[in-house]
C-alpha cells in the first residue's frame, strides 16, 4: 500500500526537488514530516521516511505516531552523548529528547550536506535515518573513519544510501 504521493517543488537554480509527505500532516511547503512508527514493545520501529532530500531552509518535523513507544530524533554529534559526528561540520546538532505519542519536534536545516540521526532507545533496533540538504558533495565526515566510531553495525546497515535518496528523493520504509 502506498501512502505517499509526490509533491514537486521548484527550488532555486533550476533544481527540482521532491519530498514525500502525508497530506494530512503537512503544515506548509517548508515543513516535511518524518513519522515515528512502530509495533508495541519496540521490536519493530522505524522512521517513515527514513531517508529524505530537502532544500536549504526547509524544516523537518518528527512526529511520534507510535502509540506504544517513545522515540527521539538525535543527531550524531560529539556534543550530544559524545557520539561520532555524522552531520556537516558547520551544522548545529539537535536532540528531540524522548517524544511521547503525538509529540513532535522540528529542526530547520540551513547547511548543505548529509545528516544522520538516530533514536535514543532504538538505535540498536536499527532505528536511524538520513537527511540530505540539497547535495551530499562536500560533506566532510563521509570520508572520515572517525564517523564510524561507536556506530552499531545494525545502524550502519540501516542508513539509506546517498544514491537512493538522491534518485528516489525520499526513501519509504518497506513494511
Ligand atoms: Cu525509537
In this prediction, residue 173 carries a pLDDT of 64
CA distance 169 to 79: 29
CA distance 129 to 107: 14
In this prediction, residue 39 carries a pLDDT of 85
In this prediction, residue 174 carries a pLDDT of 56
C-alpha of residue 168 to centroid of ligand 1, in Å: 24
Q: How confident is the model at residue 5 (pLDDT cuts 50, 70, 90)?
A: very low
Neighbours of 127 (CB within 10 A): 28
C-alpha of residue 48 to centroid of ligand 1, in Å: 12
C-alpha of residue 156 to centroid of ligand 1, in Å: 16
C-alpha of residue 157 to centroid of ligand 1, in Å: 17
Which percentage of the chain shows pLDDT scores above 90? 74
In this prediction, residue 149 carries a pLDDT of 97
C-alpha of residue 14 to centroid of ligand 1, in Å: 37
pLDDT tens digit sequence for 21-49: 444 344 457 999 999 999 877 678 999 99
Total domains in the fold of the chain: 1
C-alpha cell read off for 4: 505517499
pLDDT tens digit sequence for 59-108: 999 999 999 899 999 999 999 999 999 999 999 999 999 999 999 999 99
C-alpha of residue 8 to centroid of ligand 1, in Å: 29
> Residue 155: is its pLDDT beyond 80?
yes
Instruction: Please say whether the beta carbons of 94 and 108 come within 8 A.
Output: no
Q: Which residue has the higher pLDDT, 20 or 9?
A: 20
Which CATH number does the domain housing residue 164 bear?
A: 2.60.40.420
Distances (CA, A) of 134 to 2, 19, 32, 174: 25, 12, 14, 24
C-alpha cell read off for 104: 513532535
**Domain, as residue range, for 48:** 5-171
Amino acid at each position: 500500500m502506498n501512502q505517499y504521493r509526490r509533491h514537486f517543488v521548484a527550488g532555486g537554480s533550476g533544481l527540482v526537488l521532491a519530498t514525500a509527505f502525508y497530506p494530512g500532516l503537512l503544515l506548509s511547503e517548508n515543513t516535511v514530516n518524518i513519522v515515528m512508527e512502530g509495533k508495541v514493545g519496540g521490536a519493530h520501529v522505524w522512521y517513515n521516511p527514513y531517508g529524505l532530500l530537502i532544500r536549504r531552509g526547509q524544516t523537518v518535523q518528527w512526529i511520534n505516531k507510535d502509540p506504544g513507544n517513545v522515540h527521539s530524533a538525535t543527531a550524531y554529534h560529539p556534543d550530544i552523548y559524545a557520539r561520532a559526528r555524522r552531520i556537516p561540520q558547520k551544522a548545529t546538532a539537535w536532540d528531540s529528547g524522548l517524544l511521547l505519542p503525538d509529540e513532535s519536534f522540528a529542526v530547520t536545516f540551513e547547511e548543505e550536506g548529509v545528516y544522520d540521526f538516530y533514536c535514543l532507545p532504538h538505535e540498536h533496533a536499527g532505528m536511524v535515518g538520513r537527511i540530505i540538504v540539497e547535495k551530499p558533495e562536500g560533506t566532510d565526515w563521509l570520508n572520515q573513519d572517525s564517523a564510524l566510531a561507536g556506530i552499531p553495525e545494525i545502524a550502519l546497515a540501516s542508513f539509506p544510501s546517498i544514491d537512493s535518496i538522491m534518485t528516489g528523493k525520499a526513501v519509504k520504509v518497506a513494511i
